[in-house]
Structure 1
Amino acid sequence: MTSAVTPTGVVVAPPGLERAEWLRVRRAGIGGSEVAAVLGMSQYVSPREVYLDKVGELPLDRPRDPALEEAAFWGHVHEPTVAAVFADRTGLAVVEGPGTLAHVERRWMLANVDRYVLAEGESTPSSLLEIKTRSAFQLDEWLAGVPDGPALQTHWYLAVTGYAHAHVAALLGGNRLIIHRVERDEGLIEHLVALVGEFWQGVLDRVPPPVDGSEATERLLGHLYDVRPKAVTVADPDEVLPLLERRRELKERAARTEAELREVDNSLKAAAGEAEVVKVQGQVAYTWRQNGPFAAKRFAATHPSLAAQYRRPADALDADRLAAELPDLHRQFRARRLIVNTPKDTAA
């Protein structure tokens, strides 16, 4: 039996693995960076995507959003610096870990810890350090504490390792380091293990999580399948007809809400008149400033000669030419549109 390297953590993969092999190791369980997604709390990854990855229905090393790749790159670059500054400012020694850990009893609980922390006079780690690199716009959130996503990841690592506390160091905007100490919360950990364990059992049983309404799921479904042009699926009416009826009801409600909201906004605009700022009881209640999008077409129609002076050539991709010369490649990058047929009125 493998010996524990932390109170409850055992090594299941050494450091420095090739990326493909490391990704295969990750498919054997749930890692800390996936917990928020499993719980439906990630804006980038849905529970459905995590499930499809774990059962091998997605490419092992599929491309990610370029913005996320860029953020991950800079996070990796800054990680040693943040660790060194954390050690300098806290007086706590930090060391790199022995690789990917799993819980000694629940091997599907995985952790890739950024650094391990040794208190003064200790020869073995007694806590861990989670390192984050974030935008300066998140400073207020981090000043108030560790945000939900990183907090869940940190508690997951505490669950795997068995440590009593952890440290989180976040570099905000490249020039502000925020350090928090996170105490182990047994109630939260028990809840996390139960919820994520239920998800993992679904992976083992090949029972996918339900489709949710997140933008992450919308993006996933838009690019998940290789579309077969003009292919037809005969759907179960008991499944699809209630969804279509629910969709119709929601669309009607949205239209009513939009009209009511427009009525309220128009009344507010009428009350503003020619003023840009409206005050109520001495306080600014709302503004209606002339600083919105520029009406280029209306300007060009009203002042054609002046508009001609301010035109500039656009450097744009010729999608029509691409479609004509490389239709199959063009199709791969077209978005899928959902168009629901409205039943025709067959009344005499």
Structure 2
Amino acid sequence: MTATTAQPALVTPTGVVVAPAGLAREEWLKVRRTGIGGSEVAAVLGMSKYTSPLEVYLDKVGELPLDRPQHPDLAEAAFWGHQHEPTIARVFAERSGLGVVEGPGTLAHVERRWMLANVDRYVLDEGESAPSSLLEIKTRSAFQLDEWLFGVPDGPALQTHWYLAVTGYSHAYVAALLGGNRLLIHRVERDEALVEHLVEFVGEFWQGVLDRRPPAVDGSEATEEVLGHLYEVKAGAVTVADPAEVLPLLERRRELKAREQRVVDELREVDNRLKATAGEAEVVKVRDRVAFTWKQNGPLSTKRFAAAHPELAAQYTHSVDALDTKRLAAEHPDEFRAHRARRLVVPKENAAA
């Protein structure tokens, strides 16, 4: 007889445990590289401010450090989210009348193991011992209140639907604490068409990971950031590129830079004409309404002030602590170079053929 491998037991309608709760962080990060999690779906779709499809791809194929530092904004948000999570879960249970329990760990879809989920909490209906849905917990700024008043914004909604896709549940709850003093609770019904779209689109991305086929480089700040620190630069190294690829990009760049300069010049002309209209006045009205203001409340011109009032300038000048970059470069050139930003420079005479 041929031995058969026992399949993991379902813990949700379509979810199985692939990593236990409380796993060491490094081991958990390794598990995350075996598929796509809910927090990465928006990035894969190109809808994340902080992470691009390229960065997700590079992480999955192991070309980025396993436990690299987060963006400072994300790290701070994650810290406070983690601190508030138990409180939000408890208050959700009190206000909804539903039971809330922690999960068994990282889940994967029983048939598509690359679909991963780390669910915040599971929800039990009254009198039930088995979860019937899940709870996603968010902590957000008060400035985002309007986005949450009538539903779940796109990013968290995508993450929640991804968890529905993994677990097989028909609905989920999202509890968001806004500004630290207002809790909004939304029930999210499973949208089968959206689930199918996510599985198809993210599945194509994951196949690209398996095939080592990176996504196209986009124009996001997240991609700019990862490219700026991705490679260990070899001083003086030269890449011989395909003219058919590079020359059209250079030509397009020249067109965009020229357009950018035209816009800057035209905008300055418009601003100058408005300033001339204002003259000595701070406020300009049109039809009894304020059209624009030109007040003397901008930054101090320190050079002009110092030239006009040298004694006062000396009286109010003080030294500040600053990194001595010249000395650092001279005494520790390797460390200095390793942390320098890369600059893209295109020679003006480099015209496309």
The 3-state SS of whatever aligns with 2:312 is: helix
Does residue 1:18 correspond to 2:24, yes or no? Answer: yes
Query: 1: distance between equivalents of 2:126 and 2:285?
Result: 59
Does residue 1:324 correspond to 2:330, yes or no? Answer: yes
From 68, 73, 84, the equivalent of 2:74 is 68
- What amino acid is aligned across from residue 211 of structure 2 in structure 1? D
Does residue 1:192 correspond to 2:226, yes or no? Answer: no
Once the 2 structures are TM-superposed, how far is the Cα of residue 237 of structure 1 from its aligned partner? 1.1
Residues 281 and 90 (structure 1), Cα distance of their counterparts in 2 relative to 1, 3 Å cut: farther
Query: 1: distance between equivalents of 2:282 and 2:275?
Result: 10
Q: Which residue of 1 aligns with 2:248?
A: 242
Structure 1 gap segments, 5+ residues each:
none
Choose 207-216 or 61-70, whichever is displaced more.
61-70
Q: Which residues in structure 2 correspond to 1:120-269 (within 5 Å)?
A: 120-269=126-275
The 3-state SS of whatever aligns with 1:307 is: helix
Once the 2 structures are TM-superposed, how far is the Cα of residue 66 of structure 1 from its aligned partner? 2.8
Query: 1: distance between equivalents of 2:168 and 2:293?
Result: 53
Residues 192 and 287 (structure 1), Cα distance of their counterparts in 2 relative to 1, 3 Å cut: farther
Residues 283 and 6 (structure 1), Cα distance of their counterparts in 2 relative to 1, 3 Å cut: farther
Once the 2 structures are TM-superposed, how far is the Cα of residue 147 of structure 1 from its aligned partner? 1.6
Residues 294 and 239 (structure 1), Cα distance of their counterparts in 2 relative to 1, 3 Å cut: same
Residues 106 and 303 (structure 1), Cα distance of their counterparts in 2 relative to 1, 3 Å cut: same
Structure 2 gap segments, 5+ residues each:
1-6
From 292, 295, 301, the equivalent of 2:298 is 292
Residues 10 and 280 (structure 1), Cα distance of their counterparts in 2 relative to 1, 3 Å cut: farther
Once the 2 structures are TM-superposed, how far is the Cα of residue 290 of structure 1 from its aligned partner? 2.5
Once the 2 structures are TM-superposed, how far is the Cα of residue 22 of structure 1 from its aligned partner? 0.5
Once the 2 structures are TM-superposed, how far is the Cα of residue 240 of structure 1 from its aligned partner? 0.8
Choose 213-222 or 312-321, whichever is displaced more.
312-321
Once the 2 structures are TM-superposed, how far is the Cα of residue 153 of structure 1 from its aligned partner? 0.6
Once the 2 structures are TM-superposed, how far is the Cα of residue 268 of structure 1 from its aligned partner? 2.5
Once the 2 structures are TM-superposed, how far is the Cα of residue 344 of structure 1 from its aligned partner? 6.8
- What amino acid is aligned across from residue 109 of structure 2 in structure 1? H
How many correspondences in the alignment? 345
The 3-state SS of whatever aligns with 1:52 is: helix
- What amino acid is aligned across from residue 245 of structure 2 in structure 1? E
Query: 1: distance between equivalents of 2:193 and 2:280?
Result: 57
Residues 282 and 178 (structure 1), Cα distance of their counterparts in 2 relative to 1, 3 Å cut: farther
Runs of 4+ in 1 over 4 A off after TM superposition: none
Query: 1: distance between equivalents of 2:139 and 2:230?
Result: 30
Residues 104 and 249 (structure 1), Cα distance of their counterparts in 2 relative to 1, 3 Å cut: same
**How big is each residue's C-alpha offset from its partner over 1:56-90, in whole Å with a ceiling of 9 and x where there is no partner?**
11111112223322221121111111111111111
Aligned residues: percent identity?
A: 78
Query: 2: distance between equivalents of 1:67 and 1:272?
Result: 40
Does residue 1:83 correspond to 2:77, yes or no? Answer: no
Q: Which residue of 2 aligns with 1:338?
A: 344
Query: 2: distance between equivalents of 1:151 and 1:295?
Result: 48
Query: 2: distance between equivalents of 1:191 and 1:284?
Result: 49
Q: Which residue of 2 aligns with 1:276?
A: 282
Query: 2: distance between equivalents of 1:344 and 1:34?
Result: 39
The 3-state SS of whatever aligns with 1:43 is: coil
TM-score of the aligned structures, taking structure 2 as reference length: 0.94
Query: 2: distance between equivalents of 1:293 and 1:144?
Result: 41
